[in-house]
């Protein structure tokens, strides 16, 4: 079911992109993609890329597809699969409609924060987090495209680290996090730091792109957009904090033999997690 949903959305978006290219060539007699002069062609391209990236209001497929696939596949879907559409958006950004992009971006950040509030599945929460972060990347692509790339790299590093931690502990729901401290205390601390970074708390790495994006928006007098983005970041931070509260500040009754299992059990191989944690959380202090 998830594969069919993903295929239908991506195939539809690809067809719309091809239609926009052919329509632009028909109207302007040139195949140039990076300087699209026809307004309808740029609108179609923007909407198609919004479908591919999962921007609101085309975001409905992202939580459903992410929920229906394993953690490793979800990790690839929310990281690697974002690179191609973002690179196209980066290259055609000079010819895009700014009002449409800002509308898509702000609605994505608000819906990404609002939609994750009542979720209990971690994969759906990370999917809504992805929608919100895509909004942050899209809003700045016309003003300062290099900030979009910086935000994407930091988001990919943090999401990879979270999915690796969840995959290692076989955790997919919030209520399963209550026993995570017993299973692996170091993993719990790592997860807490990465989630705080993804939420954008200083002095962690995730604060840097949000800070720079808000600064750029204020310089260009987009005060309303900056305020909406800052408020939506609070919604994201709320459900990150809920995950942290469940995994670190609650310990449900259990027998004594299950406590501190991590201290006596042999550790699994975790080669990528330390490096990903440093990149996603400690770059700004370093």
CB 160 within 8 A of CB 75: yes
Query: Among 25-39, 103-117, 186-200, which is the least confidently predicted range?
Result: 25-39
Q: State percent of the chain over pLDDT 90.
A: 57
**203-213: pLDDT as tens digits:** 899 999 999 99
Q: What angle do CA 54, 200, 179 make, to 5 degrees?
A: 85
Average per-residue pLDDT for the chain: 87
**164-175: pLDDT as tens digits:** 988 888 888 888
| Spans of all domains in the chain | 1-27+34-253+269-280
| Residue 263 confidence (pLDDT) above 80 | no
**147-159: pLDDT as tens digits:** 999 999 999 999 9
Separation CA 220–CA 235 (nearest Å): 25
CA dihedral (131, 134, 53, 45) positive or negative: positive
| Residue 69 confidence (pLDDT) above 90 | yes
pTM of the model: 0.90
């Amino acid at each position: 079911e998830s594969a069919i949903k993903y295929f239908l959305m991506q195939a539809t978006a690809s067809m719309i992109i091809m239609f926009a290219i052919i329509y632009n060539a028909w109207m302007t007699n040139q195949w140039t993609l990076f300087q699209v002069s026809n307004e309808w062609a740029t609108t179609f391209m923007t909407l198609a890329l919004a479908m591919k990236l999962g921007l609101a209001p085309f975001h409905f497929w992202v939580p459903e597809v992410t929920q229906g696939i394993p953690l490793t596949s979800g990790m690839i879907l929310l990281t690697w699969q974002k690179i191609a559409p973002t690179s196209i958006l980066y290259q055609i950004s000079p010819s895009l409609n700014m009002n449409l992009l800002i509308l898509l971006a702000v609605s994505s950040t608000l819906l990404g924060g609002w939609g994750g509030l009542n979720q209990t599945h971690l994969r759906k929460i990370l999917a809504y987090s992805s929608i919100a972060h895509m909004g942050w990347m899209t809003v700045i692509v016309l003003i300062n495209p290099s900030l979009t790339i910086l935000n994407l790299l930091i988001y990919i590093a943090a999401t990879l680290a979270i999915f690796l931690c969840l995959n290692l502990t076989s955790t997919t729901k919030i209520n399963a996090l209550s026993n995570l401290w017993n299973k692996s205390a170091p993993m719990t601390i790592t997860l807490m730091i990465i989630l705080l970074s993804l939420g954008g708390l200083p002095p962690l790495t995730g604060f840097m792109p949000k800070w720079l994006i808000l600064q750029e928006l204020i310089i260009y007098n987009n005060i309303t957009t900056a305020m909406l983005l800052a408020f939506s970041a609070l919604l994201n931070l709320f459900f990150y904090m809920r995950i942290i509260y469940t995994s670190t500040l609650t310990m449900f009754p259990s027998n004594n033999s299950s406590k501190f299992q991590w201290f006596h059990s042999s550790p699994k191989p975790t080669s990528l997690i330390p490096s990903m944690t440093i990149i996603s959380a400690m770059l700004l202090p370093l």
